[in-house]
Structure 1
Amino acid sequence: MNTVTTHSPQSARPGHGLTVADAMEPCDYQIANDSTVDQANDIFHSAHVEYLLVRDHDGRCEGLVTRTGLHPFLTRSWSTERTAISATSHQRGPFAWPTMALALAAIAMRIKHLVVWPVVDEDGYILGVLTADRATGLLAAASTP
């Protein structure tokens, strides 16, 4: 006698139904892409944050810059006053979108080694950020009975 075991889609895909919108957080700190490394460093120190979202001249998300990513520029003090954020190597798109499945976003973040991922609307405007810790925590909570 053959026995067929079926699994519900919910149990086959942990976190099924959760989207990036369920896990995203607001991001209060942003900087224009034509701002200098020195200006970004001032924000890092005064706001005690580890990353800033970067906007282009239209206000759309260009990427994310980290304190660590700017370190090579900060060791050469003469370059911080003249180097624009857009000239640095920083995390750029593609970005997460709010309707994206959270499990898929978590996989993409793991593959890309991202701790923070900007979330944008269909026009590229910043909605918030998704952190790896928040995504992992929500998916773990959703998979426990």
Structure 2
Amino acid sequence: MTLVQMQPRPASAGPAHRTVAELMDEAGPQVCDDMSIEVALSVMAAACTGRLVVCDQDGQCTGLVTQAELTAVRDSSAYTDRVRLRDLLGDHGSFTTSVAPMAEAEHAMRYLRLGALPVVDGQGSALGVLALSR
């Protein structure tokens, strides 16, 4: 996993120093990393969302998957029903903290080419999702 946060800024920082907490969305559905692709796609459809926060058995955020990623894997010739979400995370194991400066998180997201990034607390539990405006 890659932690994107560099150094926390004081809560009293001006608009140029906004934190991730000020701009993050709700985490939405959180699923376990041992879930299959088909079940994850069903959860997304039921929740009317295009992404899921993935956690391990201890409730620690391990990444984020999107509907497009899951559909591409499911439709590939190498797909089997034994593929689990943990098998897909790779570089998507990146996350940030709510106290991270927004500018740093945005820079990291652009550098890593991520459209969304899970936001975690000090114990690694998901608090929300930071999504870049396109």
- Segments of structure 1 that go 5 or more residues without pairing to the other structure are 1-13, 137-145
Give runs of aligned pairs for residues 35-74 of structure 1, distance below 5 A.
35-74=35-74
| Greater strand fraction, Structure 1 or Structure 2 | 2
- Segments of structure 2 that go 5 or more residues without pairing to the other structure are 1-13
- 1:118 and 2:108 equivalent? no
Task: Work out which structure has the larger RCO, using CA pairs closer than 8 Å and 6 or more positions apart in sequence.
Answer: 2
Once the two structures are superposed, what CA deviation does each residue of 1:73-97 show, in whole Å capped at 9, x if it has no partner?
Answer: 322699453221112245112x111
Residue 38 of structure 1, CA deviation: 1.1
Paired with 1:100 and 1:115, the residues of 2 have a C-alpha distance of: 17
Once the two structures are superposed, what CA deviation does each residue of 1:4-42 show, in whole Å capped at 9, x if it has no partner?
Answer: xxxxxxxxxx94231001111112211100111110011
| Greater helix fraction, Structure 1 or Structure 2 | 1
Which residue of 2 is the match for residue 81 of structure 1? 81
Give runs of aligned pairs for residues 1-145 of structure 1, distance below 5 A.
15-75=15-75, 79=79, 81-89=81-89, 91-93=92-94, 95-133=95-133
Once the two structures are superposed, what CA deviation does each residue of 1:90-137 show, in whole Å capped at 9, x if it has no partner?
Answer: 5112x111111111111111111111110001111101011112xx8x
Aligned residues: 120
Aligned residues with identical type, % of pairs:
32
Once the two structures are superposed, what CA deviation does each residue of 1:26-85 show, in whole Å capped at 9, x if it has no partner?
Answer: 122111001111100111222231110100000010100111212243226994532211
Moved over 4 A (4+): 76-80
Normalised by the length of structure 2, the TM-score is 0.78
Paired with 2:119 and 2:38, the residues of 1 have a C-alpha distance of: 26
